[in-house]
Amino acid sequence: MTDDRYEQGMRVRREVLGDEHVDRAVANTTEFTQPFQDFITETAWGSIWARDGIDRRSRSMITLAVLTALGREHEIAMHVRAALTNGLTKEEIGEVLLHTSVYAGVPVANRAFAIAQQVFDTL
């Protein structure tokens, strides 16, 4: 593990997902899951989300579209919250999901809309 990339990843992860979420993930880490937690912190957050090529708003839109298209329902709520943190409005999130429905299918977008609505209802 590269310490600089891990530290940068932890900083970005906290900025995007919030301290509460990250603290919960860290607290739930076991000896078995530690290598995976290190990997996603260093690689996803420290290498990819930390890049300068596109802004975090754009990264959130891409992430929501891909999670929706792949039917990764257990990750959508977290990334709807992250998208709001990264400056997307509820309306923009809806547009991302609507746009995704054309290319990935109505059923997966329908479920993503329901998940997003559940997140909005808690705000």
pLDDT of residue 113: 98
Averaged pLDDT for residues 83-110: 98
- Listed residue (62, 60, 76) closest to 108, CA to CA: 76
Task: Name the CATH architecture for the domain at 56-121.
Answer: Up-down Bundle (1.20)
List pLDDT tens digits, range 48-72: 999 999 999 999 999 999 999 999 9
What are 104's two structure tokens?
């990935």
Averaged pLDDT for residues 93-106: 98
Q: Terminus-to-terminus CA distance in the chain, angstroms? A: 36
Q: Where are the domains of the chain?
A: 3-48, 56-121
pLDDT of residue 32: 98
pLDDT of residue 97: 98
List pLDDT tens digits, range 4-41: 999 999 999 999 999 999 999 999 999 999 999 999 99
pLDDT of residue 3: 82
Claim: this prediction has a pTM higher than 0.85: yes
pLDDT of residue 2: 62
> Which alpha helices (DSSP H) does 18-105 contain, by range?
19-27, 34-39, 56-70, 73-85, 90-104
Reply yes or no on whether the pLDDT at 1 is more than 60: no
Q: Report the SS3 class of residue 31.
A: coil
Q: Report the SS3 class of residue 1.
A: coil
